[in-house]
Amino acid sequence: MTAIRFPRLFSILATTFLVTPVWAQEAPEEPDAAAKAAVEAQGFRLPPQLRQIAYRDANPWVLHTNVRVGEGDSNVTFGGLGAIPFRNDVPGADQVDAPLRVYDDGAVGLDEPRADELDADGNQTSTPGGTYDVFDDDGNLLGTFVSYTPGLTRNWAYQNEEQAGDGTISLNQFSTQSTGAAFQREAESSGIGFEMAVSRRIMKLGRKAELNFSAAVGLSDFSASTSSTITADLVQLTDVYQISGDIPDAPFQGPSIVDLTINGPDGNPVAIGDLETTVPLQQITPDRRFTTVPDGATVLGSWAIDGAYYSFRLGPEVRGHVTERIAFSAGAGLLGAVIGSDFSVSEALVLEDYLTSGTVGIQATDSMTELVLGYYAEASIEYWLTQRTGLFLGAVLESIDDFNQQFGGRTASVMLGEALVVRFGIVHRF
């Protein structure tokens, strides 16, 4: 796009400098400003040509303060949607030093002997694979608990019946890969911005015109959003653990403790302690599997980008008087924009009738700032109320390169394109 725009810019500038000498015909020497003031003090008015010169020569600087109104044909393309990473960083299932592995549908923690299973020297007193009793100081039974067994753990959980196999429990992590889902939306804008421009006379072009160098800065904004349900590839990490005993009903959260009661002599229940019913699970496993199901995931998502940009224009400008109070200006040059934007993503994996410990998805915002370039051409008409202050109305054609933002494999491409902006405000010489 840039390769096409800059030849246009050079054409505009070349035309400006070719036309300028025709306008800038040789003019007679202009009268001295002090002499003109003396004549005016005597009650005489200068002829129109000299009054135009007075307006122009008041000061070499010109300031525009204005509102800009315009709607461009810009739009935003969201691409690469639906890539949800694993929610948890699960250590290798064969890593003995991992204190806890948290999955989307369960967890496994490493086990060790409890305080009631150890003697004063730290040796295990309970029988691995069996149970042990705990008494209070008076010899009353407080509870019967499952003993620590090396290689097994009492600290684990799972949530869905589908995870139970033949003597095994499968614990899973879910993620998705994008299949290239994309949407295009028209970018919205407030339509109203603010701008300031200043120009400095470089040289006179006869009685009625001058060549200036102009610089302007303005503020504009844009936004776009969309939401939809899309399809992605389902990626599943599965660790398969062996269980030592009957599989408890789902959902299960271990250790599992129940109150142990008996009927007393009067027939009323009497609590005699706690009973642990935990079924130990394999503490580590080498059985880790990855499976990918093409188009096997449904993702509910919403995406939005909000941005604002400071634009600046630099280039030559020709200004000339048509009458005493009416003048015109025209110019062209380089257009730049410093764009700052926030790209917001909210995506959630839809797992119908399947319990997870939390939403499998991503919700985050990425911010970035970038400079993009283009070109502009402008023209305006001015009505001077005094030699220093006037009103103006004009238009600017702005053409700017695309702006691209990437976040987690997703893209938001903002095509600002070409926009025709109307400007109106106050012009002042100083």
Same domain? For 162 and 205 the reply is no
Integer Cα distance of 293 and 290 in angstroms = 10
For residue 93, tell me if it sits in a domain: no
Percent of the chain scored above 90 by pLDDT?
53
pLDDT at 238 over 60: yes
Query: Which residues neighbour 97 within 8 Å (Cβ) at sequence distance 6 or greater?
Result: none
Pick the residue with more confidence: 201 or 49?
201
Structural domains counted in the chain: 2
pLDDT at 309 over 90: no
Short-list 250, 253, 272, 252, CA closest to 261: 272
Same domain? For 315 and 396 the reply is yes
- Residues 213-220, mean pLDDT to the nearest whole number: 89
For residue 222, how many C-alpha atoms fall within 13 Å in the half-sphere facing its CB? Answer: 28
For residue 94, tell me if it sits in a domain: no
**Torsion angle of the four alpha carbons 2, 187, 197, 7, in this order, in degrees rounded to the nearest 10:** 20
Last residue of a domain, one of 273, 292, 311: 292
Phi-psi region of 139 (alpha: psi -120 to 50; beta: other; left: phi over 0): left
Same domain? For 72 and 210 the reply is yes
Integer Cα distance of 247 and 158 in angstroms = 11
Same domain? For 301 and 394 the reply is yes
Query: Which residues neighbour 158 within 8 Å (Cβ) at sequence distance 6 or greater?
Result: 105, 106, 164, 169, 171, 250, 251, 252
pLDDT at site 136: 84
Last residue of a domain, one of 244, 267, 292: 292
Short-list 96, 84, 252, 286, CA closest to 173: 84
For residue 273, tell me if it sits in a domain: yes
pLDDT at 49 over 80: no
pLDDT at 15 over 80: no
Pick the residue with more confidence: 139 or 412?
412
Same domain? For 219 and 320 the reply is yes
Q: Which residues pair with 288 in a beta bridge?
A: 239
Same domain? For 275 and 368 the reply is no
At position 428, the amino acid (one-letter code) is H
Q: Which residues pair with 353 in a beta bridge?
A: none
Same domain? For 348 and 213 the reply is yes
pLDDT at 57 over 80: no
pLDDT at 16 over 60: no
Secondary structure in 3-state letters for the chain: CHHHHHHHHHHHHHHHHHHHHHHCCCCCCCCCHHHHHHHHHCCCCCCHHHHHHHHHHCCCEEEEEEEEECCCCCEEEEEEECCCCCCCCCCCCCCCCCCEEEECCEEEECCCCCHHHECCCCCECCCCCCEEEEECCCCCEEEEEECCCCCEECCEEECCHHHECCCEEEEEEEEEECCCEEEEEECECCCEEEEEEEEEEEEEECCCEEEEEEEEEEEEEEEEEEEEEEEEEEEEEEEEEEECCCCCCCCEECCCEEEEEEECCCCCEEEEEEEECCCCEECCCCCEEEEEEEEEEEEEEEEEEEEEEEEEEEEEEEEEECCCCEEEEEEEEEEEEEEEEEEEEEEEEECCCCCCCCCCEEEEEEEEEEEEEEEEEEEEEEEECCCCEEEEEEEEEEEECCEEEEECCEEEEEECEEEEEEEEEEEEEC
Last residue of a domain, one of 245, 275, 292: 292
Q: Which residues pair with 175 in a beta bridge?
A: 235
Tokens of 333: 């040059």
For residue 60, tell me if it sits in a domain: yes
For residue 372, tell me if it sits in a domain: yes
Identify whether the C-beta of residue 380 lies closer than 8 Å to the C-beta of residue 415. Answer: no
Tokens of 334: 């380089």
Identify whether the C-beta of residue 374 lies closer than 8 Å to the C-beta of residue 220. Answer: no
pLDDT at 306 over 50: yes
Q: Which domain holds residue 255?
A: 100-177+235-292
For residue 393, tell me if it sits in a domain: yes
pLDDT at site 96: 72
In the structure, what pLDDT confidence band is assigned to residue 263 with cuts at 50, 70 and 90?
Answer: low
Same domain? For 30 and 114 the reply is no
For residue 375, tell me if it sits in a domain: yes
Tens of pLDDT, residues 331-354: 999 999 999 999 999 999 999 899
Same domain? For 122 and 9 the reply is no
Tens of pLDDT, residues 67-122: 888 765 578 999 999 999 999 888 876 777 778 899 999 999 989 999 999 999 99
**330 alpha-carbon distance from chain centroid:** 38
Same domain? For 148 and 253 the reply is yes
Pick the residue with more confidence: 186 or 18?
186
pLDDT at 123 over 60: yes
pLDDT at site 73: 59
In the structure, what pLDDT confidence band is assigned to residue 10 with cuts at 50, 70 and 90?
Answer: very low
| Residue 259: C-alpha distances to residues 106, 134, 268, 353 (Å) | 25, 14, 15, 32
Before 251, cis peptide (omega within 30)? yes
Tens of pLDDT, residues 159-205: 999 999 999 999 999 999 999 999 988 877 766 778 889 999 998 88
For residue 91, tell me if it sits in a domain: no
pLDDT at 25 over 60: no
pLDDT at site 179: 94
Same domain? For 141 and 12 the reply is no
pLDDT at 5 over 60: no
Tens of pLDDT, residues 358-414: 899 999 999 999 999 999 999 999 998 887 889 999 999 888 888 899 999 999 998
Same domain? For 132 and 186 the reply is no
Tens of pLDDT, residues 244-258: 999 999 999 888 888
The lowest-confidence range among 133-137, 226-230, 279-283 is 133-137
Residue 36 has phi, psi (to 5 degrees) of: -65, -40
Identify whether the C-beta of residue 373 lies closer than 8 Å to the C-beta of residue 400. Answer: yes
The model carries a pTM of 0.74
pLDDT at site 186: 81
- Residues 21-37, mean pLDDT to the nearest whole number: 47
pLDDT at site 8: 43
* Averaged pLDDT score across all residues of the chain: 83
Short-list 357, 285, 299, 311, CA closest to 105: 357
Q: Which of 5-9, 63-67, 279-283, 319-323 has the highest mean pLDDT?
A: 279-283
